[in-house]
Chains A and B, each alone.
Chain A
């Protein structure tokens, strides 16, 4: 059957995520971007929504089961509040979900409860690399088997909260296959570089990280001895980024719509001009179209459909263009005011360009 109606439980989750996004993330977004920091208090409050905790079974410290559809619904609301804030709140998922989905039984027992049963702490992942055509399937960071350990060498970028991180998953190229390795807080050869200055999402601190012959014990190879499939992790990262794009774009659409309904021009409201009204109609249509594409991809992941990976890829491919189009138009609709940092639309537009780059910065 087809159905576009979330379950009652999902509706409650959407509702609480929306209330948090509205009351906490959105009001903090401007200063967080200007000052390059999201107050811990706010992240902690988002963590208490229990999104990740509800994705982890009881035996590993959580109280539920993972569902990509449910995660997508909640994450859209978070990004509606603020993209950087959403990424911060979701951060531990970047570490816990690969372990949950691809880790060995021992790894799940060893690494999950510490994350899940505590307050929010930065657990992160290092995937992106400093190359214009970076591909998660062709990493330049190399892992080599060496006796009782793996040796990892390479450079990573955009690693959120790397400096403060309690733990990290690094993805490296092991015999031409992308594999994850669980890295403890302190390890020889791991060098946290400078914090990177980006065009947007400034509330989220991201770092360069270098691996110089970092020796990882064999049992920290994600999935254990036989390793794991990388595809599902990438798929979920793509769907997550797509839903975040939808949430942020929806925020930009709503803000510019409300502005256009309020702003007088030539004796009418600016929204009463078809030039503006049609832009808004197209924004709303594209957001809805990409939302459905994202939902379908998430549902295909949950139900293990054969073409789930392709669906996830199409969803993020559509989301990056949609987010750019919608956030650009939101600025355009506000005209000169849109360009001023007092209004949030220019921040959304700066963040909007990042969607094409950010896959790997969140997993929900």
Chain B
């Protein structure tokens, strides 16, 4: 049955998160924007303890336990949905600060998606310890962005010590510094075990904080999301145990690209969540815009024929419908994930639409507020800078268009490049 009722547990969670978002994030927005790379420890410690207490916040929801299922048979799973709502609300508070929420992040998501039970236990339990720690994913390289098959980092097996030797340079690692230097965290590093095998040789490796030969070499200075560190990482003969490889260590058949597909499957899960963060920023923007307009005596008259609306009314109405329809795409994508339905198409659709919607909404808000919007007195200009990343990371709008196009056309990568 088609329904759009927010599940009760989500509504309750949202109510609590709104307070956190307002009191601990929004109030600190300007400070952590202007003091790039300052670390919001108050928020981090608070969230860590709160999530330890409630069990919330793991990027990938817990596997459904067989025993529980008999008990709550008619309660459909809402793990991803609940996460999407959480991320939307925290990003409504401040997306830069949200990005340093402690926990496994994308690193844990990759381990959840393609690790063994033993690996999950070994690597993920650190995130439940007393002290907060972080996880990150290192995929992009200076010469390989969206084209992840061009990755050059290598992993060679040292048969004598049974260790992988990693070499290469990774850039744009979100939370890389916090994962390796500021906590006992980990980074999932993508590298090839057979440079001649192309995508079939691609594997991911768990690199833990403190591994010799791993160094953070640079922190980027960014347009927005400045509370979040974006690190460059150099791996120089970094050795990790054999069991740190996610997926099979063999290149069985150069035509299978299972390792690469592991990364792509992770994206199916994470893309709608990233869309959700952008939507949080856009919602904050739209709410403030409407509040400011109301102070100026501008009322939005919903229901009038388009021909009778003022330009501002039209813009605001379009912003609202873009925001809500993108949000519904996100909800559908995570609902599919919760219900174990393949959601590659919907996941990328949500990213295409949300990427467009949030950049446009934040741009328009500034335009409408004129000389007031452009100043740093208001957060609108910050949200404009913060929102843009939504259309870039976790697959640019263009890469996601490619994914959607291949899906709807039934084309393989070789047929639609």
Contact = CB atoms under 8 A, between A and B. Distances in A.
Interface of A: 1-7, 10, 69, 73, 132-135, 137, 234, 257, 260-261, 271-272, 274, 277-278, 280-282, 284-286, 288-290, 292-293, 295-296, 299-300, 303, 309-310, 313-315, 317-318, 320-321, 356
A-B CB proximity, top 10 nearest: A292-B328, A289-B325, A277-B405, A281-B404, A133-B307, A281-B405, A314-B321, A318-B321, A293-B325, A281-B401
A6 B1 contact: yes
B184 interface: no
B2 interface: yes
Contacts of B346: 288
B83 to A, nearest CB: 13
A3 B3 contact: yes
B304 A135 contact: yes
Nearest to B414: A272
B303 interface: yes
Given A133-B307, A289-B326, A272 B302 contact: no
B262 to A, nearest CB: 24
Nearest to A137: B303
A299 B3 contact: yes
Contact of A296 (B304, B308, B328): B328
B329 A289 contact: yes
B416 A272 contact: yes
B222 interface: no
Nearest to B357: A289
Nearest to B409: A271
Report whether over half of chain B's contact residues are helix, strand or loop; otherwise say mixed: helix
Kindly state the interface size class of chain B when it binds its partner. Answer: 35 or more
B286 interface: no
B415 interface: yes
Interface string B285-308: 000000000000000001111111
B335 interface: yes
Given A135-B304, A285-B353, A1 B324 contact: no
B320 A278 contact: no
A128 B205 CA distance: 65
Contacts of A272: 411, 415-416
23 contacts: A2-B5, A2-B335, A3-B1, A4-B335, A4-B336, A73-B2, A133-B307, A271-B409, A274-B416, A274-B417, A277-B401, A277-B406, A277-B416, A278-B402, A282-B401, A285-B404, A289-B326, A293-B324, A303-B5, A309-B302, A317-B318, A318-B321, A318-B322
A277 B401 CA distance: 8
Given A2-B5, A257-B408, A281-B408, 4 more contacts: A135-B304, A277-B409, A281-B352, A296-B328
Contacts of B324: 293, 296, 314
Contacts of B304: 135, 137
B328 A135 contact: no
B349 interface: yes
B240 interface: no
Contacts of A303: 5
Given A134-B305, A289-B325, A280 B405 contact: yes
B370 interface: no
B371 interface: no
A281 B353 CA distance: 10
A44 B142 CA distance: 65
Nearest to A132: B307
B408 A1 contact: no
Nearest to B352: A285
B318 A271 contact: no
Contacts of B22: none
B257 to A, nearest CB: 20
Contacts of A277: 401-402, 405-406, 409, 411, 416
A1 B332 contact: no
A295 B404 CA distance: 22
B347 to A, nearest CB: 12
B1 A278 contact: no
Contacts of A299: 2-4
Nearest to B334: A2
Nearest to B349: A285
Given A6-B2, A286-B353, A293 B405 contact: no
B286 to A, nearest CB: 13
A285 to B, nearest CB: 5
Contacts of B326: 289
A1 B338 CA distance: 12
Given A3-B2, A134-B305, A280 B409 contact: yes
Contacts of B322: 318
Nearest to B328: A292
Nearest to A235: B303
Nearest to A3: B3
Contact of B306 (A1, A10, A310, A356): A356
Contacts of B416: 271-272, 274, 277
B328 A289 contact: yes
A73 B2 CA distance: 10
A130 to B, nearest CB: 14
Contacts of B405: 274, 277-278, 280-281
Nearest to A293: B325
